[in-house]
Structure 1
Amino acid sequence: MEIRPSFLWMLLGASLVTLLPRILPLIVLSRVRLPDWGLRWLGHIPIAVMSALLAQELLVSKGAFSPQPVALLSAVPAFAVAYFTRSLLGTVVTGIAATMLFRYLSSLLALS
């Protein structure tokens, strides 16, 4: 397989564009002492991002507000496991198992 120079330059450029926004903040923030309020504020970012992703997945379908009953039912046991155990693996396994169970039950009800 032949690699053209233009493809190689494109790959290197894409790598640089992807790497710089991740490395520069680490370099800058490693030398700066952030105030306590700034650290507390930064601590909320992962929760806010995860909440936005979950809300979109559970409540939006094809660009419109359209809650999916199976997804909402599956989220309840997954949220319970996440709250009580704080285990990412347990939460994911519970969510997958609940989704499988509720999809199976909904297909049985649809056949009846």
Structure 2
Amino acid sequence: MILAMIIGMSLVTMIPRVIPAFVVDKLRFPNWLNRLLNAIPYAALGALIFPGIMNVIPDKPYVGLIGGIVAIILAYFGLHVIYVLVGSIVTVFLFTL
């Protein structure tokens, strides 16, 4: 019984994830919809990252903001994501000393 439930749950989870991989290539969206869909990952990242930036140190939200600004500046110059992360981490570390 438990094995049947596990297999059923895995199928119910897998099917909605696999079908779009085969269908999306055949669909043609208008340009405005393509731009909207391409912007969604950035909006989702912003919604996930910003609250974390504000709560790096609960008593000092400016430390997270400064680290976020440093990350934005480093990313603007086109640095690799590892350098952006290390730069923002070092900045937050230096402001917490």
TM-score by length of 2: 0.74
Aligned with 1:85: secondary structure? Answer: coil
Deviations 1:30-75 (A, max 9, x none): 21122222211111111111111122212369xxxx8722211211
**Aligned with 1:50 (options 41, 45, 52):** 45
Aligned to 1:77: 70
Give the structure 2 partner of residue 109 of structure 1: none
Q: Give structure 2 stretches of 5+ with no counterpart.
A: none
Cα deviation for residue 9 of structure 1 reads 3.9
Please tell me whether residue 39 in structure 1 is matched to residue 34 in structure 2: yes
Q: How does 1:3-18 map to 2 (within 5 A)?
A: 6=2, 8-18=3-13
Aligned Cα root-mean-square deviation (Å): 2.6
Is there any run of 5+ residues in structure 1 with no aligned partner, and where? 106-112
- With over 3 angstroms needed to count, the CA separation of the structure-2 counterparts of 1:82 and 1:10, relative to structure 1, is farther
Aligned-residue identity in percent: 34
Q: 2:88 aligns with which of 92, 95, 100?
A: 95
Q: Structure 1-normalised TM-score?
A: 0.66
Aligned-partner SS, 2:32: helix
3-state secondary structure, aligned to 1:28: helix
